[in-house]
Amino acid sequence: MKIKLALYVLFALINFNFLAQPCNMSLSTGVNNAMGGGPNGTINLTVNGGTAPYSFMWSNGSTTQNLNMLPQGCYTVVVNDAAGCQAMATACVTNLAGPILYSNSNVVSFYQVVNGGFTPQWVCQNDTLYSDGGIMKIYLESGATMITGGGIDTIYAKTGATIVMNGGIHRIYHEPGVNLVMNGGIPYLYLCPSLVFNYSQAPANGCVPVCNITATASVTNVSCAGIASGSATLTATGGTAPFSYVWSPNAANTQTANNLVAGTYTVTITDANGCTANQSVTITEPSSIAMSTAITNIQCFGQNEGVSMVTASGGNAPYNLTYSGPISGNPPGNDILVSGGTFNINNLAPGSYSVNLTDANGCVVTQNFTITQPSQLTVATSTTDELLGSDGTFSATVSGGMAPYNISWTGPVNANPVGNEILSSGGSYTANNLPSGTYNITITDDNGCTESTLVTVGSQVGVETLDKNNAFRLYPNPTVNLLNVQMGANTLVSEVYILSMEGRVVSTFIMDGNEIKVIDVASLSNGRYLVQFLGENGMHCETFVKQ
């Protein structure tokens, strides 16, 4: 019997199927080699002939017909049938490099995309593994790449492996030197000093969590400069919920902070495992809304012609304005459309006003201004009557308005002297050599404001004008030193007056008809003078020029 068993062994070693006589039973094996160093080889045993049932005894102690989950090595089986016949065979499993599939239940092709429904385990070496769903346990040797698109995976990765996360929720145990590319999904990371792949249990001994908390902030900025109206809400990803939040400066200890002023805040986020991350949050504010006013005051008393030009800047355009005072207004629409733009408030009466400027955020700035007007322009007049003919006068005294003043008049004699005849408030001007009559006097101040008044120059001549045919003569005319005054015959004159053109008497004497009088005028100022002859029957005037 020992010799017979030895022969069975010998035949198995040379891969020869042995058939016991007189039993008619033979064995054949099919081998799936192991890959990637994992216990994933298989031997499928086929019994030909013999009498069922059969019993199996493998050299690794297994009593099943087929062997699964085999590491590299050779395996011998002894088969006995019901008739007492016996056969023996040996098969060897070789380890092959490259990708393999290791599964406790369902087995799928390595290149097939896994879409859930089972919990397989993958071992990948020097190739790329794609996961798009399901709940999987994945082992990555150095040089392998894992690309995730979804699912819930547990991944073990050795130094030199690559994990590209595009989605899903993954717990990743990895040695130092694993290339992690996080494009999406939620990772829970654990750094392991060394991984030993034992495919029956998780190789997580000595691994520590890797903090991978990230956060995004939803920010509401301050609406108006200088106020506390900002807010921010943080959303944490990665890590392990629940999360706690601490804001610095001390704004809140909650996920959302309200009533924030402009500035930069640091938020410390801590997860349930004690992992922390800092997130910076910046709250901004617009520039301060500002307003300037340029005032054009009223030029003439009693007129509603004041103007305030409002210029807006800062804040957020467009702007709307309202104003109140002696005259109030709320122009419709956005009255100032851009920063640096202007709006004119016209036709303002004198007084104090308040302007409110509101920007697009509802921020308001207020400014006060005053519209002024000059005092009322007034004219006081006085007159002197005509005595000797065209020797009447009127005087105008002006106050109020804006000095200096110009005067003009219409009447029996019209005049518009050139220049500012009345230079200051309270000053006066006298018009001379006026015949009797009514005059309309107009005063114009420096702002162009006018005031008019009527005056009447009376007459006190009372005698008939002497006949010019009585041959009154003054010669030489012009003269320097001496003036000859001659009256014709039959002229009865009692008095002769020499007057300046302002009506001042500079000389007087008595003459009779048909007389020549020589008058010394050397001491008179140069200019035009009036010689007035008064007689019983009237008067007559002549003029001469002193040089």
Contact 334, 319 (CB under 8 A): yes
User: Nearest-CA neighbor of 488 among 466, 519, 513?
Assistant: 513
Where b means 16+ CB within 10 Å and e means fewer, 108-145 reads eebeeebeeeeebbbbbbebebebbbbebbbbbbeebb
DSSP state of 329: B
pLDDT of residue 443: 93
Q: How far apart are CA 135 and CA 202, in angstroms?
A: 15
Q: Which long-range contacts (CB under 8 A, 24 or more apart) does 345-351 make?
A: 345/307, 345/308, 345/309, 345/310, 346/307, 347/304, 347/305, 347/306, 348/298, 348/304, 348/305, 348/306, 348/307, 348/308, 349/298, 349/304, 349/306, 350/298, 350/306, 350/326, 351/325, 351/326
Q: How far apart are CA 123 and CA 200, in angstroms?
A: 13
At 356, give phi and psi (nearest 5°).
Answer: -110, 125
Taking the CA of residue 406 as centre, how many other CA atoms within 13 Å lie in the half-sphere pointing to its CB? 13
Radius of gyration (Cα) for the chain, nearest Å? Answer: 63
Q: Which domains does the chain have, with CATH numbers?
A: 2-96 (2.60.40.10), 100-210 (no CATH), 214-283 (2.60.40.1080), 291-371 (2.60.40.10), 378-457 (2.60.40), 468-546 (2.60.40.1930)
Q: What is the chain's pLDDT, residue by residue, as a tens digit (547 residues)?
A: 333 433 343 344 433 343 444 688 998 998 877 654 556 678 999 999 889 999 999 999 999 999 987 888 899 999 999 988 999 999 998 875 433 333 332 323 232 333 333 334 444 445 555 555 556 677 788 888 877 777 777 888 888 888 888 887 778 888 888 888 888 887 777 788 777 765 544 444 456 556 678 899 999 999 999 999 999 999 998 777 889 999 998 767 999 999 999 999 999 998 877 778 889 999 999 999 999 999 999 999 999 999 999 999 999 999 999 999 999 988 887 888 888 889 999 999 999 999 999 999 999 999 999 999 999 999 999 999 877 678 889 999 999 999 999 999 998 888 888 888 888 888 899 999 998 888 999 999 999 999 999 998 887 644 344 445 556 788 898 999 999 988 776 666 668 889 888 778 899 998 877 788 899 999 999 988 988 887 766 677 888 999 8
The amino acid sitting at 466 is L
* pTM, entire model: 0.48
Say whether 508 sits in a helix, a strand or coil: strand
Q: 3-state SS string over 113-177? A: CECCCCCCEEEECCCEEEEEEEEEEEEECCCCEEEEEEEEEEEEECCCCEEEEEEEEEEEEECCC
Q: 3-state SS string over 340-365? A: CCEEEEEEECCEEEEEEEECCCCCEE
User: Nearest-CA neighbor of 59 among 47, 50, 70?
Assistant: 70
Say whether 233 sits in a helix, a strand or coil: strand
Question: Using CB atoms within 10 A of its CB, is residue 174 exposed (0-12), middle (13-18) or buried (19+)?
Answer: buried
Residue linked to tokens 């902070």? 257
How many separate helices (H) and strands (E) can be counted in the chain? 1, 40
Question: Strand 505-509 to strand 392-399: parallel, antiparallel, or no bridges (unpaired)?
Answer: unpaired
Contact 355, 367 (CB under 8 A): yes
Contact 317, 337 (CB under 8 A): yes
pLDDT of residue 120: 42
Phi-psi sector, 501: left (phi>0), alpha (psi -120 to 50), beta: alpha
pLDDT of residue 465: 45
Q: How far apart are CA 101 and CA 111, in angstroms?
A: 10
- H or E element that contains 9: helix 2-13
Say whether 257 sits in a helix, a strand or coil: strand
Q: How far apart are the first and last CA of the chain?
A: 180
Question: With DSSP H G I counted as helix, E B as strand and the rest as coil, what are the percentages for the chain, rounded to 5?
Answer: 5, 55, 45
pLDDT of residue 14: 38
The residues, any chain, with a CB within 8 Å of residue 250's CB and separated by 6 or more, are none
